[in-house]
């Protein structure tokens, strides 16, 4: 007997859905019965993800099997607000599940890192999650709907007791952004719980994932990143 679809009535917004972790999460959410609003800076990549999605997508206010692609730069406040407005207009309600996966790397050793590469990573990885979290929470509170907001951090940003285990060479900007996501999520959880909004953070695996990010790391830092 097939297991019940746990997200049968859910509408899930996933940022960074054009590939990697974001695409994999989108596929799993759809398989669990959710309708998925797949968002990426690369609109074509988001549409490719939607083509991969299965599941019934039986959320209220949208036809059976409905998923949709959206394009947005989550590091811009206006774009984050418009994204939530577009999702609500498409599905007739705010997303009850929001997963922030959008992220970039600009790897370089601290002695050579440009201010621009620092700013870009912080803008997307930390500010972008703040903006999407804020816009999603505002939409849920104004509609009186409960929801769950999940932010993807990294094991690189997780603080440990041993200094030898903290951070990663060539990623001071990335580590700072992901540590910030942890603090943001923990603080937001305290504020939003009374509104019926659950906040969660999730860490990527300790091993470096083999995607276009790790390919760039091999080129820039000339390190042996295992292909996985």
Distance set, CA 188 to CA 122, 150, 174, 205 (Å) = 18, 11, 21, 24
The span from the CA of 27 to the CA of 30, in Å, is 5
- How many Å apart are CA 108 and CA 5, to the nearest integer? 44
Q: Which of 130, 174, 179, 181 does the annotation list as catalytic?
A: 174
95/150 Cα distance (integer angstroms): 12
Question: In 3-state terms, what secondary structure has residue 220?
Answer: helix
d(CA 8, CA 22) in angstroms, rounded, equals 20
- In 95-174, the DSSP E strands lie at 97-100, 147-153
Please name which of 76, 73, 84 lies closest in space to residue 42, comparing C-alpha atoms: 73
Residue 187 backbone class (left: φ over 0; alpha: ψ -120 to 50; beta: rest)? alpha
174 belongs to the catalytic site: yes
- Residues carrying an active site annotation: 174
């Amino acid at each position: 007997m097939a297991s019940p679809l746990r997200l049968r009535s859910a509408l899930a917004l996933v940022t960074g859905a054009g590939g990697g972790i974001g695409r994999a999460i989108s596929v799993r959410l759809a398989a669990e019965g959710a309708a998925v609003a797949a968002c990426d800076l690369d609109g074509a990549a988001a549409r490719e993800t939607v083509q991969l999605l299965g599941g019934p997508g039986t959320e209220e206010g949208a036809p059976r099997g409905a998923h949709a692609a959206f394009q947005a730069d989550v590091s811009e406040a206006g774009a984050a607000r418009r994204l939530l407005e577009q999702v609500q207009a498409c599905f007739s309600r705010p997303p009850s599940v929001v997963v922030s996966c959008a992220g970039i790397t600009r790897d370089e050793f601290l002695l050579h890192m440009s201010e621009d590469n620092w700013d870009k990573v912080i803008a997307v990885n930390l500010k972008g999650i703040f903006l999407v979290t804020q816009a999603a929470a505002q939409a849920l509170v104004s509609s009186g709907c409960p929801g769950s907001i999940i932010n993807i951090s990294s094991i690189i940003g997780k603080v440990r007791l041993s200094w030898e285990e903290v951070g990663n060479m060539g990623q001071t900007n990335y580590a700072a952004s992901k540590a910030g996501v942890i603090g943001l999520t923990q603080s937001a959880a305290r504020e939003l719980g009374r509104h019926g909004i659950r906040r969660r953070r999730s860490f990527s695996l300790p091993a470096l994932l083999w995607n276009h990010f790790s390919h760039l790391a091999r080129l820039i830092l000339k390190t042996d990143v295992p292909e996985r």
